[in-house]
Amino acid sequence: MKQENQSTKQLILAEALTLFSTKGYESVTVAEIANAVGVKAPALYKHYKSKQDIFNAILEEMKASYDRQAAAMQMDGRDAEKDQSLYIDTSENATVKRSMELFLYFLHDDNERKFRKVLAIEQYNNRDLADVYANQYVDFPLSYQSALFGLMVNLGVTIPENPQIMALQYYAPVYLYLRLCDCQPEREAEALQILEQHFKQFIRVYHKEETR
């Protein structure tokens, strides 16, 4: 029975995310989610107390999904100190490959794509979701990259420049092309080509010659 309940909870999250990404969070009702799952609304409330509760569970699942992807890439993805070894005595090709793999995860993972669309739709209508959007796609990645580049500067791997500016220069094209491919998926090949060149140039500009 426990396994069945777990499956129902996951189905609720999947159907809710699909509806949110199609109609927007504010426009979707609990009754619509229940109907998509194939249950009555009272049955849905056995698993989640409200639509907000469903969204919070989706947010936690997105964090868990990112953590699983990071682990599959043998990185922590949240704690820069734990990941600094990945960028010491590592080839340019390995660093570029890791960056490209992470970009492709965010671009192609179906749930990531849907979740990004929900936040993009609602960022102008819902302050709480605007805050989630800012944290997910601006504050968190820049904070992680700033901490990582700060460590690289202190270790002498990169030239002594402002880590926050380095993070901004590294991440801004990633975010830009992620949004571009969301709107125009046919431009993915162009985006991948430019991002690969961007990562290589970034390494050449900031890494000390003897550490490349």
CA–CA dist 107, 140 (Å, integer): 17
Residue 212 has pLDDT above 70, yes or no: no
pLDDT-based confidence at residue 11 (cuts at 50, 70, 90) = very high
- For the record, the structure tokens of 5 come out as 């309940």
CA–CA dist 136, 185 (Å, integer): 21
CA–CA dist 54, 47 (Å, integer): 9
Query: By three-state DSSP, how is residue 101 classified?
Result: helix
170 burial (CB, 10 Å; 0-12 / 13-18 / 19+) is: buried
CA–CA dist 95, 152 (Å, integer): 14
Average pLDDT rounded to a whole number, residues 1-27? 83
pLDDT digits (tens, 9 = 90+) for 68-87: 999 999 999 999 999 999 88
Phi/psi region, residue 207 (left: phi>0; alpha: psi -120 to 50; beta: rest), is beta
Residue 5 has pLDDT above 60, yes or no: no
In contact, 128 and 136? CB cutoff 8 Å: no
122 burial (CB, 10 Å; 0-12 / 13-18 / 19+) is: buried
Residue 64 has pLDDT above 90, yes or no: yes
Residue where the block lists tokens 């669309």: 117
CA–CA dist 191, 197 (Å, integer): 10
Q: How far is CA 20 from CA 40, 44, 55, 111, in A?
A: 19, 16, 9, 11
* pLDDT at residue number 4: 46
